[in-house]
Structure 1
Amino acid sequence: MFAREVMQASAPAREAAVITKAAVRAAERLGLSARMLAGVLGLSEASVSRMRRGDFALERGSKPFELAVLLVRLFRSLDAITGGDETVAQTWMATDNRALGGRPVERITSISGLTDVLAYLDARRALV
């Protein structure tokens, strides 16, 4: 959706557009490919491509919408910990983490892994 269309849309449509755009931006800043983002959200790569073009918005109440909210939370936590350094965030996502039992980028492709990584970051963020 274009900015003017978003402003004229209903509240749920605006919310869907905002969450969709936030998830796409979070994925980009975390270094996630379209395939990885599709795996996290449980969508096809074609749907992710449409999300990036602004031709598709996640529907409130759907599983992909809820997973996108969690991904945005994960990004915000990691961003706070790394001080906004995308290189550090991307390196952390790609590096094996014994506490998480694998690389975070691989763990977040399952719901349990996504929530585990988010809980880990939230706990670390509390220390900052």
Structure 2
Amino acid sequence: MNAFAKPTPDRSVVLSAAVTRVADLWGLSNTKLGAVLGLSGPTISRLKRGATKLDAASKSFEAGQFLVRLFRSLDALLGSDDDAARQWLQTPNLDLGARPIEAIETMRGLIAVCDYVDFYRARV
């Protein structure tokens, strides 16, 4: 191993930090983030404190990846305007049949919202 090589960051630590940052920027409560990730409120509290991390082999990790994907897509589409992203998430969407913030509480909904935003982004 090269003595100057940087160590590879732990994927679980990086994703856990990114997910908590998204929750902070979007104003997601522990309950809401827990619903999105399929975790309990106390586990979300530990995640935000850095006392636990998302397990790379779990569905919660996969949901976290989709949440970060959604954040990045909205961020690019809306020019890094977090207020606009929060408003978009709260606004009823006829195409999705729900407010996106409610739709992302299920894995199927989270994937659908990601796909919807990515499709819209591809048209721009």
Same fold, TM-score > 0.5, yes or no:
yes
Partner Cα separation in structure 2 for residue 104 and residue 28 of structure 1: 17
- SS of residue matched to 1:102: coil
Preserved CA contact (<8 Å) 1:77 1:121: yes
What is the deviation of 1:30? 2.1
Superposed displacement of residue 28, structure 1: 1.7
Identity of matched residues, %: 44
Q: Residue 30 of structure 1 contacts residue 75 of structure 1 at CA under 8 Å; is this kept in 2?
A: no
CA drift at 1:31 = 2.4
Compute the displacement of 1:27 (Å).
Answer: 1.8
TM-score w.r.t. structure 2 length? 0.91
User: How many angstroms apart in 2 are the aligned matches of 1:23 and 1:68?
Assistant: 6
Give the counterpart letter for 1:68 in structure 2. G
Q: Which amino acid aligns with 2:117?
A: L
Match runs of 1:59-70 below 5 Å: 59-70=55-66
Report the AA paired with residue 37 of structure 2. L
Q: Shift of the alpha carbon at 1:127?
A: 2.0
Structure showing the higher helix proportion among its residues: 1
Residues 77 and 125, structure 1, Cα contact 8 Å, conserved in 2:
yes
CA RMSD for the aligned pairs?
A: 1.5
Partner residue of 1:16? Answer: 12
Q: 2-side partners of 1:28 and 1:96: how far apart?
A: 22
